[in-house]
Amino acid sequence: MIESRGLTKRYGTLTALEGLTLDIGPGQIFGFIGPNGAGKSTTMKILACLLKPDAGRASVCGLDIGTRGDDIRRVIGYMPDFLGVYDDLTVDEYLQFFAAAFQIERARRRVIVDQVLELTDLTPKKHALVDSLSRGMQQRLGVARVLIHDPKVLLLDEPASGLDPRARIEMRSLLVELGKMGKTLMVSSHILSELAEMCTSIGIIERGKLLYAGSIQDAYAKTRQAGHGERIAVRLEREGVGADAAKARLETDARVARVEADAANRTLAVELTAGEHGHHFVIEALVGAGARIAAFQPEDVKLEDAFLKLTTGALQ
């Protein structure tokens, strides 16, 4: 649905985007993640045909951005990172205005506006002034606006930014809902955890370069390959008893990368070799050595760790 090859954009001497190559398939919810200034908005503006790249090409729904801009605008919904100010317009008037701008016949506007209000949970706010809405509601209104012409592809630039936790959850469930409706979503965020769980794939961009694109599971797997093995925190009931032997056994096991222990060998941090799974042999080593386990806590590789690993790794 979205395809780019070597997209590059310069602002004067600054290269905001460098050789961006990306594929987003139909029905995907693609999380476009990177810190402020990474080039996310630039990319989305190029895909929305609002900005011309200096090099490279891209297509949306098979339509080339260089030649089919008008057709692309009809099949996409682009929500910029800032909602304009609309003094003295009610939510209903605001949406009616955009329905008219999208050349939807007068008779159908009422039905369509009511549908998008319902979908974005804004029906109770239909007659409220846009400026009086909370930030969360304004962001949902922004989404409602880009749904009016029923686009196949949505480009949403930081829709969850600046929202309180509750509003963020509401935004996320709205996006999941849109995914279920079969729409293809590209959603940007500068906060990894804001989006991660709901995305079918993610792309990590930094300083104009795409550092990673793929599934979140693969991001975890890559992190493990990069030397971040799974960790297990172990606490033993009594210091000393069997702990020294258990520690020695684990240290000589090829499946274990490292064992850290306190002076009494009562708390152990066992790091498995990268790519290694399964905890049974750790328990067996402990029990076999006569140690009594008080706590056994496997710690998954965190997405934040994966993110750091991927980004710093690629920039070294």
Name which of 41 and 96 has its Cβ closer to Mg ion. Answer: 41
**C-alpha span between 13 and 91 (Å, rounded):** 42
Q: Which is nearer to ligand ADP, 11 or 82 (CB)?
A: 11
Which partner in ligand ADP, Mg ion, none is near 37 (CB below 5 to 8 A by kind)? ligand ADP
User: Which strands, in side-by-side order, build the sheet including 231-236?
Assistant: 256-261, 267-272, 231-236, 293-299
Q: Does 311 bind ligand ADP (CB under 6 A)?
A: no
Which one, 43 or 184, has the nearer CB to ligand ADP?
43
With tokens 């209000």, the residue in question is: 117
Shortest distance (Å) from residue 101 CB to ligand ADP: 24
Among the candidate windows 11-19, 93-101, 229-237, 260-268, which touches ligand ADP by CB under 6 A? 11-19
Total residues at interface with Mg ion (CB under 5 A): 3
> Could you tell me the two tokens for 279?
């905890």
34 binds, among ligand ADP, Mg ion, none (CB under 5 to 8 A by kind): ligand ADP
In the block, tokens 């205005």 appear at: 97
Which CB, 34 or 151, lies closer to ligand ADP?
34
Binding of residue 189 to ligand ADP (CB under 6 A): no
Tokens at residue 54, please? 């200096």
**Nearer Cβ to Mg ion, position 41 or 139?**
41
Amino acid at 68: R
Residue 183 found at the interface with ligand ADP (CB under 6 A): no
Q: Which of 1, 16, 20, 282 binds ligand ADP (CB under 6 A)?
A: 16
Q: Which two tokens stand for residue 275?
A: 């790519």
Residue 185 interacting with ligand ADP (CB under 6 A) = no
Please tell me whether residue 41 binds Mg ion under the rule CB under 5 A: yes
Can residue 41 be called a binding residue for ligand ADP (CB under 6 A)?
Answer: yes
Tokens matching residue 304: 């934040």
DSSP string, 219-280: HHHHHHHTT---EEEEEESSSSTTHHHHHHHHHT-TTEEEEEE-TTS-EEEEEEPTT---SH
> In angstroms, rounded to a whole number, what is the distance separating the alpha carbons of residues 303 and 121?
31
d(CA 38, CA 281): 44
Query: Interface with ligand ADP includes 242 (CB under 6 A)?
Result: no
**Binding interface with ligand ADP (CB under 6 A):** 11, 14, 16, 34, 36-42
**Binding interface with Mg ion (CB under 5 A):** 40-41, 81
